[in-house]
Amino acid sequence: MADAEPHTDERPLAGRVALVTGGSRGIGLAIARRLGKLGTRVAICGRRAEQLDKASKELDGEGIAALAIVADVTRAADVTFLVERVEAELGPLDILVNNAGMGIFGLFHERSETEWDTVLDTNLKSVFLVSRAAAPGMIKRRRGNIVNISSLAGKNAFPNGGLYCASKWGLMGLSNCMAEELRAHGIRVSVICPGSVATEFSTHSGRDLATLLQADDVAHSVAAILTEGPQSFISEISMRPVQKT
C-alpha cells in the first residue's frame, strides 16, 4: 500500500483509491487517466488481459501507475476477488466508477434471451454486484463516491434500442435508490448520462466523429463530481454534443 500523499490544487484527489470497471479502453481508460492525474491510486479491470496490459502500459507512459486486474464484473466471485485485491494492494476503496457496458441493438422481438442476458448483466447487474461489494467498506468508513456511467438512452427511447434502453433505464432507477440509501452514511452516488461518444463502442456510421462527445468529456464530468465540496453532491449529469448530427 502506498504512503499517503498530501492534497494539492493540481492533485486534489491525492491519496484516494479508485476503481474503474471497463477501464481498458474508451471512456473507462479516459476516466482512469483523469483520476490518475488528479492524484488517485487507480485500478482498472476488464475481461481481456491483452487490452488491460496495453492500457496499463499507456497509463504508465504518462506517469500513472495503474493496477490492472482481469475480472468479469457480471460474476459475483470475480467481483469479490476484484475488490479484495484492490484494497489489499492500494488501500481502502474511496471511489468506484461503474463504467463497464456494452450494447446489442435491433428489433426487440428478434433478439434472443442470451442477448438480453448479456446486455442486462453487463450494464445493470455488474453495477449491483460491484457496488454491493464496495458499499460495506465505504459505510464503515463513512465516506466514498460511486459514479455510475449510464446514457441518455436511460431517459429516451429509440427504435432498435430495446435491450440497451432497458438496461440503462434500470441503471437510472438503481442509481437513484443507491443514492438515497447511502447518503446517510456519507457516501455520494452520482450518475452520468452521455449521448453518443466517439469510441469503438459503436461504428457511428455516417457521422462526423468530431461532432460527437469525446471520452475525455465524460472523464471531465467524473472529475467535476469527485471534486465537488463535501457538503453537497452532483446527483446527475446529462451530456450532449453542441452540434446535432
What does the pLDDT profile of the chain (245 residues) look like in tens digits?
545 566 567 899 999 999 999 999 999 999 999 999 999 999 999 999 999 999 999 999 999 999 999 999 999 999 999 999 999 999 999 999 999 999 999 999 999 999 999 999 999 999 999 999 999 999 999 999 999 999 999 999 999 999 999 999 999 999 999 999 999 999 999 999 999 998 776 655 566 778 799 999 999 999 999 999 989 999 999 999 988 76
Residues in CB range of 237: below 8 A, 6 or more apart? 190, 191, 192, 193, 221, 224, 225
**Cell triple for residue 236?**
446527475
Write down the catalytic residue from 56, 128, 164, 189: 164
Residue 187 and residue 216 in contact, taking contact as beta carbons nearer than 8 Å = no
CATH architecture of structural domain 17-239:
3-Layer(aba) Sandwich (3.40)
**Cell triple for residue 16?**
484516494
Q: How far apart are CA 216 and CA 46, in angstroms?
A: 19
Q: Reduced to 3 states, what is the DSSP secondary structure of residue 96?
A: strand
Instruction: Please tell me the pTM assigned to this model.
Output: 0.93
Question: Any catalytic annotation for residue 89?
Answer: no
Residue 165 and residue 154 in contact, taking contact as beta carbons nearer than 8 Å = yes
Residues in the chain: 245
The region that residue 232 occupies, defined by phi over 0 for left and psi between -120 and 50 for alpha, beta otherwise, is: beta
